[in-house]
Amino acid sequence: MGLIRDLAVQGAQMVFVLLLAPLLLGVTRKLKARMLDRVGPPLFQPYRDLLKLVRKEVVIAENASWLFRVAPYVIFAATWVAAALVPTFATGLQFSWTADLIAITALLATARFFLALAGMDIGTAFGGIGASREMLFASLAEPAMIMMVFVVALVAGSTQLSWVANFMLTHASLRVSLGMALVALVIVALAENARIPVDNPATHLELTMVHEAMVLEYSGRHLAVIELAAALKLLLYVSLIACVFVPWGLAPPRSGFLPLVIGAVTYIGKISVGAFLLVFFETSIAKMRVFRVPELLGAALMLGFLGTLLLFVSRSF
């Protein structure tokens, strides 16, 4: 019985993140438009876009290889599996022992690997420029993320995300190192999700774009799958920040129905606040020059590193 409930929670979580991800995108777009005094698209526009895309015919370049057609599904699957392992409304995820926080980072790296390769498959200049820049950013964002993981793991004594969330829930305390890790994670999240100041999700001005340049050749259902994966990734990062740094409201393992509902409601609240903060930050800052981004990510790496160092010096920081 317990196993069935755990499986149900895990399954519900997977479906939940998949359904919720485009909404988060819609909310950020709407909020952003409101902040700029525009009306903005309807909240559910991302769903409509996805639906429209999957119904359309796919046009691919003559020399596209099988990798180009397979990559969207691999990217989507890796991102979805990673997103399914981040606790959203309940901690006791059945499969959380499958992959810990380091493995989640690596799953996102797998998605990125295929995205960059897909960008290079057609052999156009845009795909290459996007892939090249994406890998440059990743070369700093990934170690920053690992350093953030180190901080969290040293504080909680585990790299298992469910375990970490439980620990944070029960032993919450203000720590310098966690503060540094939070800032590092926020910077990494901005970079990984191609948000301002690293990349502009709304732009189609080719020379400044990274993510959009890689997926330039995609259309129809392939593009839909990639867009959905990108939305999932944004939700993943927001959930990650929420479950590690503001774990309150998460339903503990083996809890009844009511805590699960409370968990779900607080989770919606948390990601709404996250979306608002993201939009507020994005509207109040300008996009960076590409070669300033490594400095920003380097700062994230340094913060994560300092946090880890502090914890190596003393567990009480």
Partner 1 sequence: MPVVVALGSVAVLILVAVAALFLVARPAFATRFVYGAAGLVALVLMVTALAALLGRVDISGEIVLPVGLPWVGAHFRIDPLSAFFLVVIDLGAAAASLYALGYGAHETQPERVLPFFPAFLAGMNLVILAADAFSFLVAWEFMSLASWALVMAHHQAEENRRAGFVYLVMASFGTLMLLLAFGLMAGPDGVYAFAEMRHRVHADWLPGLVLLLALLGAGSKAGLVPLHVWLPLAHPAAPSHVSALMSGVMTKVALYGFVRIVFDLVGDPVWWWSAVVMALGALTAVVGVLHAILERDFKRLLAYSTVENIGIVFIGLGLALAFAANEMAAPAALALTAALFHALNHSLFKGLMFFGAGAVLTATGERDIEKLGGLIHRLPVTAVVVLGGAMAISALPPLNGFVSEWMIFQAILLSPDLPQWALKLMVPAVGAALAFSAALAGACFVRAYGVAFLGRPRSTAAAGAHEVDRFSLVAMGLLLGLCLMAGVVPGLVIDAVSSVAVQVVGHDMPPQPLWPTLSIVPVSEGRSSYSGMLVLVFIAMSSGLAAWAIHRFASKALRRGPAWDCGFPDASPVTQYTADSFAMPIRRVFGPVAFRSHIERRMPPPGDPSPAQLKVVKHDLSWEILYAPISGRVARLAERLNTLQFLSIRSYLTLVFAALVGLLVVVAIWA
Task: Restricting to residues 268-287, name those near partner 1 by CB under 8 A.
Answer: none
- 183 is a contact residue toward partner 1 (CB under 8 A): no
- 301 is a contact residue toward partner 1 (CB under 8 A): yes
Q: Measured from the CB atom, is 6 or 268 closer to partner 1?
A: 6
- 313 is a contact residue toward partner 1 (CB under 8 A): yes
Site map for partner 1, 62-101, x if CB under 8 A? xxxxxx-----xx-xxx-xx--x----------x-xxxx-
- Minimum distance from CB of 284 to partner 1 (Å)? 27
- 182 is a contact residue toward partner 1 (CB under 8 A): no
Site map for partner 1, 37-66, x if CB under 8 A? -----------------xxxxxxxxxxxxx
- 20 is a contact residue toward partner 1 (CB under 8 A): no
Q: Is 91 helix (H, G, I), strand (E, B) or coil?
A: coil
Angstrom distance (rounded) from CA 186 to CA 197 = 12
- Tell me the backbone φ, ψ of residue 99, rounded to 5 degrees: -150, 130
Handedness of CA 215, 137, 239, 29 (dihedral sign): negative
Indicate the burial class of 158 (C-beta count within 10 angstroms; 0-12, 13-18, 19 or more): middle
Q: Are 134 and 210 in contact (CB under 8 A)?
A: yes
Q: What does the angle CA 187 – CA 300 – CA 18 come to, to the nearest 5 degrees? A: 35
Task: Restricting to residues 212-251, name those near partner 1 by CB under 8 A.
Answer: 216-217, 219-221, 224-225
From 12, 120, 246, 264, residue interacting with partner 1 (rule: CB under 8 A): 120
Q: Measured from the CB atom, is 107 or 278 closer to partner 1?
A: 107
> At CB < 8 A and 24+ separation, what contacts does 26-32 make?
27/272, 27/275, 28/234, 28/275, 28/278, 28/279, 31/275, 31/276, 31/279, 32/279, 32/282, 32/283
Q: Is 152 helix (H, G, I), strand (E, B) or coil?
A: helix
Token pair in block for residue 268: 């919606």
Q: Measured from the CB atom, is 20 or 138 closer to partner 1?
A: 138
- Minimum distance from CB of 25 to partner 1 (Å)? 18
- Minimum distance from CB of 89 to partner 1 (Å)? 20
Indicate the burial class of 115 (C-beta count within 10 angstroms; 0-12, 13-18, 19 or more): buried
Task: Restricting to residues 146-165, name those near partner 1 by CB under 8 A.
Answer: 146-147, 150, 153-154, 157-160, 163
- 106 is a contact residue toward partner 1 (CB under 8 A): yes
Q: Measured from the CB atom, is 257 or 291 closer to partner 1?
A: 291
From 5, 40, 132, 255, residue interacting with partner 1 (rule: CB under 8 A): 132
